[in-house]
Structures are given as C-alpha cells and as structure tokens.
C-alpha cells in the first residue's frame, strides 16, 4: 500500500475501488425489517492521508456509558429532526465527537442502509475523504473517551486480525489496533469496507480470543446517545447490521 498519494481524479485508488463497489458491499444478510419505532442513525467512515499513510477515524466510547462502554466505533449517532439525514447527521456527529470540521470533508457516497434488529436502529454509513485534516479532539468526555486516526496498514496487518468470542456466545471478526479491540458492528463494517477497497490480506480466522467486556456503568444519569451496536446482553451481536433489502443504490454526493 502506498502513502495514499491521490490519483488524478483526486482520490486514492483504494477509495475509488470502494466507491465503485459501494452498492454491493460484502455484508452478511440477516432477517428483520425496520418499523415505526426504528431509530434513524448514521456513521461517518472518514479516510484521510495521515503521517503514517492512509488512515481511518475511530472513536472509543466512554467507559462510563450504560451500554457499549469502552467500545471502539465510527463517529455517529441518531438523526436530529429536520437535518440532512444521513449526510448531515454523520457530519454533525463527527464534529461533536471528534472535532471534525464538516467543511473539510468531501462526502463520497452513502452505503446501503443497515438494520440492527436488537437495538432497532437503521444505520446509514457515510464514506468521506478528509480534504483538510485537522487535529482530532474528544467531544463530551461522558460519551467519548478518545479519538484515533488508525493507519490502514495496521488494520490490514494479519498480526492484528483475529476473532473474538463474547460471553453471550457471539463470535465475530476483530482488529487489535491503537490499543483497542475493534469488534461487533464496527469491525464487521470495517472488514467489508477494506475488502471492497481491495486492501484486505489473508489472516488466520481460527484465532478466536475471549472478549473482555467492561462492566456497564450503573449511574442512571448517564445516557448513551449512540446505541449503534447490537445489545449482546439480550441477543448475540451481529457481525454487521443487515441490509434492509430496499434495493436502492448508494447515493453518491458531488464533492464540496
């Protein structure tokens, strides 16, 4: 992998491959349909040219949250009334959680809607390129513990790939990067995105490790605003959310 030198079209080759394959991402299909109470959410998959080569932005949720405490994730959350969903939602959340200035992000495409049945969330991943990278910062410390720009070369290194087994019985792909174990919805989506971008390398999927789950916070005043991973306390977490089968092509947005 090169140091992410943009092509004449203005984007690295791997991102051009990802956008071209966005409508047919290799995501496992699961049963379930959104309903009237389903929460609309969005996450931002933000790529950039970093000091260690091409990278992607991840956050680590606060260890004080009542659910998903300490879990790595893409910036994201639920839509606010009247905003430009899903792009506006993803950009707003990335700004609030990681200090990403929306004007510095070129939105490339939205991926197919993904439904998380256990948490009743309909999630739209938004793919972006960081035209104007700035120093990342954590937002509200009650929600975000830290922010990391993770080099893609580390994510695709077979030494950092394995599977995890949750106490609920769920087994799925994981990444050991930036002093974090990325698993669940985020790991499954990340694995699919890297595959579509042509970056994945063979790794040993027989390496299954027990997942250490931190105890959930018990303070009722604490609110988790981003329930984007399945609630594995009630049901095994899916590898990634399932496609709703809407049949709509991903929306490609002209760069700013």
What is the per-residue pLDDT for 234?
27
User: Up-side HSE of residue 100: CA atoms within 13 Å toward CB?
Assistant: 35
Between strands 76-78 and 39-50, the pairing is: antiparallel
Helix H segments across 66-117?
87-98
CB 54 within 8 A of CB 144: no
Predicted local distance difference test score (pLDDT) of residue 137: 82
Q: What is the mean pLDDT of each run of 10 residues along the chain (256 residues)?
A: 50 94 75 81 95 94 56 92 96 93 94 84 93 82 84 98 91 94 93 96 96 55 32 32 37 39
In this predicted structure, what is the pLDDT of residue 138? 82
Determine the distance from the C-alpha atom of residue 245 to the mean position of all C-alpha atoms in its chain, rounded to a whole number: 20
| The model scores a pTM over 0.75 | yes
Given the structure tokens 């937002």, which residue do they identify?
A: 139
So what's the pLDDT on residue 6? 47
Peptide bond into 140 cis (omega under 30): no
CATH of span 13-29+36-213+228-240: 3.90.79.10
pLDDT at 84: 96
| C-alpha pair distances (Å), 183 with each of 95, 108, 245 | 23, 25, 24
Q: Which helix (H) or strand (E) is 198 found in, with range?
A: none
Could you state, in order of their start, the residue ranges of all structural domains in the chain?
Answer: 13-29+36-213+228-240
> Residue 42 is inside which H or E element, if any?
strand 39-50
CB 204 within 8 A of CB 162: yes
Do residues 178 and 58 make contact, with C-beta atoms less than 8 angstroms apart?
Answer: yes
Instruction: Give me the pLDDT at residue 49, please.
Output: 94
Q: Dump strand ranges (E) for 120-159.
A: 121-130, 144-151
């Amino acid at each position: 992998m090169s140091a992410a030198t943009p092509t004449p079209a203005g984007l690295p080759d791997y991102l051009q491959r990802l956008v071209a394959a966005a409508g047919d991402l290799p995501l496992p299909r699961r049963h379930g349909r959104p309903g009237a109470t389903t929460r609309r959410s969005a996450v931002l998959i933000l790529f950039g040219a970093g000091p260690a080569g091409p990278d992607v932005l991840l956050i680590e949720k606060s260890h004080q949250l009542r659910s998903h405490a300490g879990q790595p994730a893409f910036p994201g959350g639920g839509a606010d009334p009247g905003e430009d969903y899903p792009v506006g939602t993803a950009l707003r959340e990335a700004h609030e959680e990681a200090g990403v200035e929306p004007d510095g992000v070129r939105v490339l495409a939205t991926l197919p809607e993904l439904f998380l049945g256990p948490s009743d969330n309909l999630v739209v991943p938004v793919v972006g390129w960081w035209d104007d990278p700035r120093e990342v910062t954590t937002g509200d410390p009650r929600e975000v513990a830290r922010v990391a720009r993770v080099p893609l070369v580390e994510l695709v290194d077979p030494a950092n790939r394995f599977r995890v087994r949750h106490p609920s019985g769920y087994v799925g792909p994981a990444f050991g990067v930036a002093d974090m174990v990325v698993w669940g919805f985020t790991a499954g989506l990340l694995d699919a995105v890297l595959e579509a971008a042509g970056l994945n390398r063979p790794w040993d999927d027989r390496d299954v490790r027990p997942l250490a789950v931190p105890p959930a916070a018990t303070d009722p005043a604490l609110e988790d605003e981003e329930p984007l991973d399945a609630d594995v306390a009630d049901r095994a977490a899916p590898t990634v959310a399932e496609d709703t089968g809407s049949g709509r092509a991903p929306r490609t947005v002209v760069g700013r």
